[in-house]
């Protein structure tokens, strides 16, 4: 006598076999079946569900394209260039200055530096044929006279004094 087993029967781990589709025997039958049931594109993916806590915005309330277009035109008419402008400073603009006024101050400093270098060349402090030295001096004087960080301006002032008046550079207190 056999004892009944209460264990489940073993299942196969292989997927169940699907019957093979019928193979067409000729090219004509293949074309006939293909034209009878044309392939459709796969369905689009399901839309991501909205967050349940999200309130309906104005764009959700505008149903037709005409309403959305009219609302977009109204928003565009409200835009003002001064409201669209950047609020931050450009890179290299000193704190407390806007870009335009800093550029004007730098240009004025450059003009003063040019005048001073031409005076120094007339006195013979800078050789008239030393164009590189004159350009470097103009650049350094522009930095010293321009708005900006005090440490940078002091550093360039110290360099100028060290080059032109070494006896004053140590006592400059900069």
- What is the pLDDT at residue 14? 78
Residues 131 and 151: their CA atoms lie apart, in Å, by 27
The pLDDT, as a whole number, for residue 67 is 92
* Consecutive 10-residue averages of pLDDT for the chain (174 residues): 64 74 62 60 75 75 90 86 70 81 89 88 86 88 84 84 74 49
Tokens found for residue 165 = 């008046």
pLDDT, residue 64, reads: 92
174 CB-near residues (< 8 Å, 6+ apart): 154, 157, 158, 161
- Residue-level pLDDT at 2: 61
**Measured between alpha carbons, how far is 58 from 71 in angstroms, rounded to an integer?**
9
Instruction: State pTM to two decimals.
Output: 0.47
Q: What is residue 83's predicted lDDT score, i.e. its pLDDT?
A: 65
For residue 87, what pLDDT is reported? Answer: 67
Residue 148: closest CA among 88, 103, 85: 103
Q: Phi and psi dihedrals of 42, rounded to 5?
A: -65, 155
End-to-end CA distance of the chain: 112
pLDDT in the model for residue 38: 53
- pLDDT, residue 69, reads 92
């Amino acid at each position: 006598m056999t004892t009944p087993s209460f264990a489940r029967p073993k299942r196969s781990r292989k997927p169940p076999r699907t019957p093979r589709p019928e193979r067409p025997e000729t090219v004509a039958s293949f074309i006939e079946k293909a034209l009878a049931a044309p392939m459709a594109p796969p369905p689009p993916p399901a839309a991501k569900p909205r967050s349940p806590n999200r309130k309906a915005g104005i764009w959700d309330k505008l149903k037709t394209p005409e309403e959305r277009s009219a609302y977009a035109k109204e928003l565009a008419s409200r835009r003002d260039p001064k409201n669209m402008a950047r609020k931050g400073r450009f890179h290299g603009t000193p704190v407390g200055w806007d870009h335009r006024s800093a550029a004007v101050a730098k240009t004025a400093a450059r003009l003063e530096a040019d005048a001073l270098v031409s005076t120094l060349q007339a006195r013979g402090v800078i050789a008239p044929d030393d164009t590189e030295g004159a350009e470097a001096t103009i650049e350094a004087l522009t930095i010293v006279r321009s708005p900006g960080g005090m440490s940078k301006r002091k550093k360039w002032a110290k360099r100028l004094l060290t080059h032109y008046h070494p006896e004053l550079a140590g006592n400059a207190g900069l």
